[in-house]
Amino acid sequence: MSSIVSPITHIYKPYPKEALFSILIPSWNNLPYLKLCIEGILKNSKYKHQIIIHVNEGKDGTLEWVQQTSYSYTHSLTNEGVCHGLNAMSKLAETNYILYLNDDMFVGKNWDDYLYQAIQEKGDEYFYYSGTMVEYEDTGNPSVLSPYNFGTTFDTFDENAFNKLVNESPKKDWFGACWPPSIVHKRLWDYVNGYDVDYSPGFYSDPDFAMKLWEVGVRDFRGIGKSLVYHFKCKSTGRVVRNNGRKTFAKKWGFSSSFLYKNVLLMGQLVEPGIELKMPSGLNLILAKIKGWYIAKF
């Protein structure tokens, strides 16, 4: 079990009462990207939102900057990673929806409206939706729009070119929402107790959270094609010592996260009428459990 190294301070500040989402943004000495991220939210959102920031360390000026803003925040003296940060921020969330957004992301025009339209059409709380990431290089992920190079750093970002892509909306909805920008009803977040700190600092915590939602009955894991967000890719996670989340996931659930992505959530496959997500049975599941046992053992 991962434990907190340093205490986490919670600072609540008033937010727009008409706020629709509580946006949780963990940040680790990444101030230029954090500023750009929030600039995008303020510029491109249709609705008002409650913005909450977790400051890991903040020695680059992030803590001082956040203290001067109107946003609620949590702060740890050391880098506590994503799981502790998200859980801490969620204690300050007061809207019906918790949205997790990384600080190295820039949201496109009306990104929030497209998500909210899907939520309204769903009509109940049993969903897990995500925006669609746009990345500057192709990593073979079918749920991502790539390669669209609108800049690899905050100071080379071509916002106008990104806006043109947003207006074209070239992506359809896809199955397998499992990572930020991701949104869930707050009651479900609280019911499954947020993110599992056993995955600290956070690798493989996303598929674990999806499995926790699956266990309580969520079957609508959908990426919204029109809700675009530009991703500068691992400006924080590239600096951290990785946990062995692959093994932790296999020990906990009995199969690999790749099995969840490919065989259960159908990640990246376009949403089509009549297709329902379900847990495979028979030989496929047996083989997946054998592989899971091997991953957990070795």
- In the chain, pLDDT over 90 holds for what percent of residues? 92
pLDDT over threshold 90, residue 234: no
Q: What is the pTM of this model?
A: 0.96
pLDDT over threshold 70, residue 2: no
For strands 127-134 and 72-76, give the pairing.
unpaired
Residue scoring higher pLDDT (102 or 5): 102
Per-residue pLDDT band for 237 (boundaries 50, 70, 90) equals: low
Which of the residue ranges 74-78, 216-220, 238-242, 294-298 would you say has the lowest mean pLDDT?
Answer: 238-242
Return the CATH number of 8-238, one of 3.40.50.300, 2.60.40.10, 3.40.640.10, 3.90.550.10: 3.90.550.10
pLDDT at 238: 62
The gap between the terminal CA atoms of the chain, to the nearest Å, is: 19
Alpha carbon 29 to its chain's center = 19
Query: Mean of the pLDDT values across residues 212-241?
Result: 89
Phi, psi of 264 (to 5 degrees): -105, -55
pLDDT at 242: 86
Per-residue pLDDT band for 240 (boundaries 50, 70, 90) equals: confident
The H or E element containing residue 249 is: helix 245-253
Query: Mean of the pLDDT values across residues 109-116?
Result: 98
Report DSSP state, residue 271: P
pLDDT at 93: 98
* Residue ranges per structural domain of the chain: 8-238
> Which residues, 6+ apart, have CB-to-CB distance to 102 below 8 Å?
25, 26, 37, 180, 181, 231, 236
The residue count for the chain: 298
* Strand ranges for 57-195 from DSSP E: 72-76, 97-100, 105-107, 127-134, 174-175, 182-185
Q: Which two tokens mark 193?
A: 């107790």
Name the packing angle between helices 283-297 and 245-253 (round to 10°): 130
CA distances (Å), origin 76, targets 23, 35, 84, 274: 19, 19, 10, 46
Distance, CA of 256 to CA of 250 (rounded, Å):
5
Distance, CA of 244 to CA of 6 (rounded, Å):
22
> Number of helices (H) and strands (E), helices first, in the chain?
10, 10
Q: How does pLDDT run across 119-136, given as a tens digit for each residue? A: 999 999 999 999 999 999
CA distances (Å), origin 9, targets 4, 67, 256: 12, 12, 35
Per-residue pLDDT band for 169 (boundaries 50, 70, 90) equals: confident
Which residue's entry shows tokens 């056993």?
A: 198
pLDDT at 233: 86
Query: Mean of the pLDDT values across residues 107-119?
Result: 98
Q: Can you tell me whether residue 205 is helix, strand or coil?
A: helix
What is the CA angle 93-127-21, rounded to 5?
30
pLDDT at 1: 44
* Strand ranges for the chain from DSSP E: 8-11, 21-28, 50-56, 72-76, 97-100, 105-107, 127-134, 174-175, 182-185, 220-231
pLDDT over threshold 80, residue 109: yes
Query: Mean of the pLDDT values across residues 283-288?
Result: 96
Query: Mean of the pLDDT values across residues 129-153?
Result: 96
> Which residues, 6+ apart, have CB-to-CB distance to 278 below 8 Å?
219, 264
Per-residue pLDDT band for 241 (boundaries 50, 70, 90) equals: confident
